[in-house]
Amino acid sequence: MGRNAEPKPAPKAVVKKEKANVDQKDQANFGNSLKKSNSEEAQQVLQLYQSLPRFSQQKKDLIQAWKADKTCKWISTWNKSLETEKKETVNERAGFGTRFQVAAMLEMTADSDEFLAVEKHLAKQKDMVDLNWDETNPVEASYKASKLQRWNLALLKSTWSAVSQSQAAKDNLTMSSSGSEVLQISGKALDDKGVSKPLKEFQNVCNSLNSCKNAWEKELAKAQDLACRLEIKGDPSFHAKGKGLQTWCQEQLKAIANLRSYVAASEDLAPEDTSPESLSKSLPAAKAWLASSQEKLQEAKAKVKTHQALL
């Protein structure tokens, strides 16, 4: 090296993980040696080894490292390297999940008609879903093999955050000295009864939902009466239609029971569930329930009208 050449930077202290080349004898020597050792480093290596899955490649890597340096002084650097890798992996995977996590975020049931309608709409959004699961992770690999879509939960949350901030700006929300949100009458944050606009909108949707439920139940009662009248007719074709209508009514009763539970829960919100942030999550779910229930109501009216024409 010449006089004026700059010195090379010192290499980073990392554990060199060479390609593991171990056999059963190496494994036995490794275990026996560490169990007999009183050094703290050796015990750390042994504990790490025992915590790994049976066929983990990392077990072979540990044995290979031990063969190269039996003092085990390298374990601290090894652990730091593992921690860094773990953080990077977590950061890469953060913000992604399954449709079941999306349903939980929206406070809906994943197999409900309401969620299926919302899911179909959300899936159309740019960058919302893909199949780019990490195949090195057994669980994510199974998701990909099952063709389970990967949802961008971070995008979903950021959308809620934007909605919440926009609503806060419109309602002129202020913060108290303690940091808790306070709705003040400094613009149009509250109505004349002291109710926040987001909460008022949610209440209006729930009221409409309750009215829709009541109308749906009335139409269903009519359909059940028609089913009974058709079943007692002498004509076999009428009897079959009555049976079919009765089966349909049973399915509708289950859907109404789910709706009744949702309405009851919505009418008894806890204080922490009435914040703008919480309502920005609850309101889309309530609107989805309402849209689905209105469709079911129209379907019930059509069923009643069709079967009334038979009598």
**Cα gap 34→36, rounded to integer Å:** 5
Number of domains in the chain: 2
Q: Establish if 101 belongs to a structural domain.
A: no
Q: Establish if 300 belongs to a structural domain.
A: yes
Domain region containing 68: 24-79
Q: In the chain, which residues have pLDDT < 50?
A: 1-16, 87-88, 90-93, 161-195
**95-121, pLDDT tens digit by residue?**
788 888 888 777 777 788 778 888 888
Which amino acid is it at 178?
S
| Angle (deg, nearest 10), helices 236-266 and 276-308 | 160
**172-189, pLDDT tens digit by residue?**
333 333 333 333 322 334
Its pTM surpasses 0.95 = no
Q: Establish if 132 belongs to a structural domain.
A: no
Task: Enter the tokens of residue 150.
Answer: 């990967």
Which of 51, 79, 107 is the C-terminal boundary of a domain? 79
Q: Establish if 129 belongs to a structural domain.
A: no
Q: How distant is the alpha carbon of residue 292 from its chain centre?
A: 21
Which of 56, 79, 102 is the C-terminal boundary of a domain? 79
Q: Establish if 268 belongs to a structural domain.
A: yes
Q: Establish if 141 belongs to a structural domain.
A: no
Q: What totals of helices (H) and strands (E) does the chain contain, helices first?
A: 11, 5
Q: Establish if 254 belongs to a structural domain.
A: yes
DSSP state of 196: B
Name the residue among 215, 200, 208, 217 with its Cα closest to residue 289. Answer: 208
Q: Establish if 267 belongs to a structural domain.
A: yes
Name the residue among 257, 230, 258 with its Cα closest to residue 245. Answer: 230
